[in-house]
Amino acid sequence: AAGTGAPAPSLGFKAIPVSAADSVVVPEGYRVQTFIPWGTPINGDMPAFSLDASGEDQAQQVGSHHDGMHFLPLDGSSRDGLLVLNHEYVEPRYLHGAAQGLALDSEGFPQHEDGSRDPDQVLKELNAHGVSVVRVRQGADGQWQVVEDARNRRITGLTPMRLAGPVAGTGHVVTKFSPDGSMTRGTLNNCSSGVTPWNTYLAAEENWAGYFANEDPEIDRRQARYGIQTRDTGRYQWHRAAGGADETLRFDASSRGASARDDYRNEPHAFGYMVEIDPMDPQSTPVKRTHLGRFAHEGVIFAPAVEGQPVVCYSGDDARFEYIYKFVSARPFHAATADGSLLDEGTLHVAKFHDNGSGEWLALAPGENGLTPENGFTDLADILVNTRSAADHVGATRMDRPEWGAVDPVTGRVYFTLTNNTRREPGQEDAANPRSDNGFGHIIRWQEDGSHAGTRFAWDLFMLGGDRENGRNPAGEPLGDDAIFASPDGLWIDPDRRVWIQTDISESVMNNGIYEVFGNNQMLAATPESGEIKRFLTGPVGQEITGVITTPDQRTMFVNVQHPGATTDAEAFAAGDFASHWPEGGSAVPRSATLVITREDGGIIGA
């Protein structure tokens, strides 16, 4: 990559080796505190963590499977703020404790003999999903603590939400719960997140399709293109909660009533969006912003807002051969008045990467690029509900699982991780996805031609993940032992331009075969121009490292550890022999948690 003239960040820490230990390792001179593990009480009756906690207790405790995260300072402080984090999903075997007295199904969910599920266990699973808002403060001893505060809040799979943008109020989202299509309940599978230029938080809805069942003989592209199958295959089986309450029956999208007002055939059409949350206002209703598209949203990253210019944000669809999208607002940004309504009018685009290093953004809008009623796209709401089908139609570039994005604060260059795609076959390679059977993943980046709102860009590959033989830095040089990585997922560029890369080698393959050399999932830091890369952190067994943010002074970094012990097989689980007992150790059930990283000398993280 050519030099940009931008100041290069320092990577002054001593790189650490790979690790297969059930612990967190950081470089010499760094400290790590384990913080807010799943089940930590934050509001209401403050119920203490217990494996026997009820579904209601869980709604007053930190959720499970910590993921995307942001620190919102209070009065600009770097020692006092709201930590806002996603809870992507649950591990039922750990969530309900080891002695639940019910047989586990093939996914580890306890069920009765007739296949029905315990309603309180289902409630606990719904409430362990979503988002936590937690006030956190650093004490004089340097340790961070939870502070009881009126803003502490759990948003869950049951929280009422408003739909906004072109899909809101249309027939696509009419349900028994919301006959006018204006509302829905809950957000699910919140992977990464984003922060708007007006300081609200956006939670992504990623693998939401796996929560729904549909037994109709035929289902249309609004569900079929997203993986909902005609057979009753939902992973969670929430619609089977004994007693059949409305809020759990809705996960069966089969047509049962006389019209859409009488059942939940449209319920899945209210999922797959970016959800805007105002952490400062605990009474606020979260809003699903439908104009940002409907797909398996990994997250969203905003370009730096410019007064008088459109708001621009980027979002990846994390599935094999899916796409990278960009939204450009119709109205300009004005700091004094900006709010979420800016995301309700504008144009969604999808990326096409040409093999010569140029690229273009194709508009997904009525009449553009063949998106006409004759071709099966009746209007804007229809295009957005069927974002994937619209992107297929315009001929966008099918990518190797787009995950997180980040924008270089100085050059404006946009980076995206492409985690892996072992289904890309020989002959299906292109310049932007250059490897078939891509088990290691890569990172792509581009510079927009002119402003972020433009339609042309120039791209190159930043890194190829891999071992010493297959990994490459931007100069095309092999990665050394301190730099090898695979399956890049989390990504963040700090104010000094350090590129933080987090890995998510799947629990089904980690520490095995071609992945053995990488050890446990980890975090590395890289420089944008020279492409120097150094391993900064390694996590415990069976987890992924995901979510990263610092305080404004960059002296405290928050990082999440998700699903430790996920590698435990059924036999070992039955024997109580979990692959991880992190963080408590001993015979404890493993729990997702946040890491708080500081330097012994109080310096900037990574410098």
**Cis bond upstream, residue 583 (ω within 30):** yes
Q: Which does 276 bind (CB under 5 to 8 A by kind): ligand FEO, Ca ion, none?
A: none
Q: What is the per-residue binding string for ligand FEO in 484-523, x denoting contact by CB under 6 A?
A: -----x----------------------------------
Cβ atoms within 10 Å of 430's Cβ, excluding its own: 13
Terminal Cα-to-Cα distance of the chain (whole angstroms): 23
Q: Where are the alpha helices (DSSP H) in 441-534?
A: none
Give the DSSP H or E segment for 390: helix 387-394
Residues in 388-447 that interact with ligand FEO by CB under 6 A: 403
- The minimum distance between CB 318 and ligand FEO, in angstroms, equals 4
Residue 322 touching ligand FEO (CB under 6 A): no
Residue 344 touching ligand FEO (CB under 6 A): no
3-state SS assignment for residue 201: strand
- The minimum distance between CB 9 and ligand FEO, in angstroms, equals 26
The binding site for Ca ion (CB under 5 A) comprises 191, 489, 504
- The minimum distance between CB 29 and Ca ion, in angstroms, equals 29
Q: Structure tokens of 480?
A: 């050394």
Q: Which does 88 bind (CB under 5 to 8 A by kind): ligand FEO, Ca ion, none?
A: ligand FEO
The Cα–Cα gap between 147 and 155 comes to 18
Residue 396 DSSP symbol: P
Residue closer to ligand FEO (CB basis): 193 or 290 = 193
Measured CA distances, 469 to 245, 510, 531 (Å): 55, 18, 17
The Cα–Cα gap between 290 and 344 comes to 7
Residue closer to ligand FEO (CB basis): 502 or 556 = 502
Residue closer to Ca ion (CB basis): 267 or 504 = 504
Residue 191 touching ligand FEO (CB under 6 A): yes
Q: Which does 57 bind (CB under 5 to 8 A by kind): ligand FEO, Ca ion, none?
A: none
- Which residue of the chain is nearest ligand FEO when measured via CB? 191
Nearest to 285 by CA among 163, 168, 181: 163
- The minimum distance between CB 49 and ligand FEO, in angstroms, equals 24
Residue 205 touching ligand FEO (CB under 6 A): no
What amino acid is encoded at 193 in this protein?
A: S
Nearest to 234 by CA among 212, 216, 250, 255: 212
By residue count, the chain amounts to: 607
Residue closer to ligand FEO (CB basis): 433 or 598 = 433
Nearest to 98 by CA among 50, 55, 48, 56: 50
Residue closer to ligand FEO (CB basis): 288 or 563 = 563
Q: Where are the alpha helices (DSSP H) in 499-574?
A: 570-574
Tell me the backbone φ, ψ of residue 248, rounded to 5 degrees.
-105, -30
Q: Which does 507 bind (CB under 5 to 8 A by kind): Ca ion, ligand FEO, none?
A: none
Q: Quickly list DSSP for 312-327.
A: EEEEEB-SEEE-EEEE
Q: Structure tokens of 55?
A: 């579904």
- The minimum distance between CB 336 and ligand FEO, in angstroms, equals 35
What amino acid is encoded at 61 in this protein?
A: Q
- The minimum distance between CB 562 and Ca ion, in angstroms, equals 7
The Cα–Cα gap between 411 and 405 comes to 15
3-state SS assignment for residue 183: strand
- The minimum distance between CB 488 and ligand FEO, in angstroms, equals 11
- The minimum distance between CB 399 and Ca ion, in angstroms, equals 14
Residue 263 touching ligand FEO (CB under 6 A): no
Q: Structure tokens of 276?
A: 């805007």
Give the DSSP H or E segment for 87: strand 80-87
Residue 88 touching ligand FEO (CB under 6 A): yes
Residue closer to Ca ion (CB basis): 344 or 489 = 489
Residue closer to ligand FEO (CB basis): 121 or 419 = 419
Residue closer to ligand FEO (CB basis): 55 or 63 = 63
- The minimum distance between CB 66 and ligand FEO, in angstroms, equals 12
Residue 206 touching ligand FEO (CB under 6 A): yes
The Cα–Cα gap between 462 and 406 comes to 13
- The minimum distance between CB 298 and ligand FEO, in angstroms, equals 5
Give the DSSP H or E segment for 415: strand 414-418
Tell me the backbone φ, ψ of residue 203, rounded to 5 degrees.
-105, 135
Residue closer to Ca ion (CB basis): 382 or 504 = 504
Residue closer to ligand FEO (CB basis): 263 or 403 = 403
Residues in 278-307 that interact with ligand FEO by CB under 6 A: 298
- The minimum distance between CB 321 and Ca ion, in angstroms, equals 16
List all residues 6 or more positions away from 311 whose beta carbon is below 8 Å from its beta carbon.
196, 197, 302, 305, 327, 328, 329, 333, 338, 342, 343, 346
Residue closer to ligand FEO (CB basis): 318 or 494 = 318
Determine the size of the site formed for ligand FEO (CB under 6 A).
7
Q: Where are the alpha helices (DSSP H) in 235-288?
A: 246-249
Q: Which does 382 bind (CB under 5 to 8 A by kind): ligand FEO, Ca ion, none?
A: none
List all residues 6 or more positions away from 337 whose beta carbon is below 8 Å from its beta carbon.
none
Q: What is the per-residue binding string for ligand FEO in 208-237, x denoting contact by CB under 6 A?
A: ------------------------------
- The minimum distance between CB 186 and ligand FEO, in angstroms, equals 17
Binding site for ligand FEO (CB under 6 A): 88, 191, 206, 298, 318, 403, 489
